[in-house]
Amino acid sequence: MELTNDLFLRAARGEAVERTPVWLMRQAGRILPEYRAVRGRLSGFKELVSTPELACEVTLQPVDLLGVDAAIIFSDILVIPEAMGLDYEMIEKKGPWFEKTVASEADLNQLREADPEEGLHYVLEAIRLTKQELNGRVPLIGFAGAPWTIFCYMVEGQGSKTFSKARKMLQQQPALSHRLLDLITRSTIRYLKAQIEVGADLVQVFDSWAGILGPHLYRTFALPYLQQICDAIQEAPITVFAKGAYYALPELGQLDCQVIGLDWCMDVAQARAAVGPEKSLQGNLDPSLLYAPKPDLKRAVKIMMDDFGSRGHIANLGHGVYPDTDPEQVKFFIQTVKEHKF
């Protein structure tokens, strides 16, 4: 299906665009009253994720209500460990919780490589439905968590400021760590390929916990698995977003991906110099600037846009939009990006 608005994909490929495309991480979520209305009818977050018709509905909301240049399928990175045999719960106001974790070889032996058609069919159906409902208006983004980030949750069992259990395993059981990371990687490759097959136009890999590893550990336990994913996925463009891993930008620039996502602490000029001219960059407004008065927000957006320049940039936040952000501020951010003149 031909896209009416293909700015996002053209910018991802580094092509010239009439204006910079814009979307937001976590745009299909808690900032919108319309999302909360859907969510309020359900038993919990996982019911929304696992019901294709509802996941489709909330995926479309930012396109209809905010005017973004791309939709991202409503799902969660933790569907992968669940499809591998490690169930999780999403506890309100606390986050994810795994009753069982991976702490030994016996635990690992109970897991399986995820089969997308079997364990993740609801995500694939949501993508099919969303692609149909979008009817070519904007591209659709699929996604998965990076192996290191998924490893963190599977070993720790919940969110953490330090993920000390996960990092302890790297130190004390490196061979077991690599085996688990390899299993996650193989599962993720199959999952992303399946997403593309049913309609995702680009896939993003979220390494949300990249920044809690130092350079040596990241290069040992994270980058090789990101490289495997990028080498395997040739069917659609890929964005790699490694939050906090500023030290790894030169290596990220060598990956066979099209876009590198920047968090708001990364300097644009330094990132461009590290990554090189061939990759497009995504980001990287500080999400807290959406709390600022409109004149201050407008100035910040202008600085960001001028720093990135007119080519090879996808405007976004440096991380997900915060849930208490005023949707009118989000609309103002999007409109300011769209109206920017270089």
67 is a domain residue: yes
This prediction has a pTM of 0.97
For the chain, count helices (H), then strands (E).
17, 9
List pLDDT tens digits, range 297-342. Answer: 999 999 999 999 999 999 999 999 999 999 999 999 999 999 999 9
Give the mean model confidence (pLDDT) for residues 187-201: 98
Above 80 in pLDDT, residue 1? Answer: no
Kindly indicate the confidence band of residue 174, based on its pLDDT and cuts at 50, 70 and 90: very high
**For residues 119 and 333, what is the distance between their CA atoms, to the nearest angstrom?**
38
Sole residue written with tokens 């290191």: 148
pLDDT > 90 in the chain, percent: 96
For the chain, the maximum distance between any two Cα atoms, rounded to a whole number of angstroms, is 58
| Joined tokens for residue 85 | 């045999």
289 is a domain residue: no
- β-partners of residue 240 are 205, 260
Tally the domains of the chain: 1
**For residues 116 and 127, what is the distance between their CA atoms, to the nearest angstrom?**
13
**For residues 231 and 256, what is the distance between their CA atoms, to the nearest angstrom?**
6
The pLDDT, as a whole number, for residue 92 is: 83
Residue 176's domain is classified under what CATH number?
3.20.20.210
62 is a domain residue: yes
Above 90 in pLDDT, residue 37? Answer: yes
How buried is residue 316: exposed, middle or buried, by Cβ count under 10 Å (0-12/13-18/19+)? buried
Tally of CB atoms within 10 A around 265 = 13
The pLDDT, as a whole number, for residue 264 is: 98
**For residues 86 and 237, what is the distance between their CA atoms, to the nearest angstrom?**
29
Q: Which domain holds residue 174?
A: 7-284+309-318
150 is a domain residue: yes
CB 105 within 8 A of CB 59: no
Q: Hey, which residues are catalytic here?
A: 26, 30, 39, 76, 153
127 is a domain residue: yes
- SS3 assignment, position 42: coil
Q: Is the peptide bond before 135 cis (omega within 30 degrees of 0)?
A: no
121 is a domain residue: yes
252 is a domain residue: yes
| Joined tokens for residue 54 | 């509802």
299 is a domain residue: no
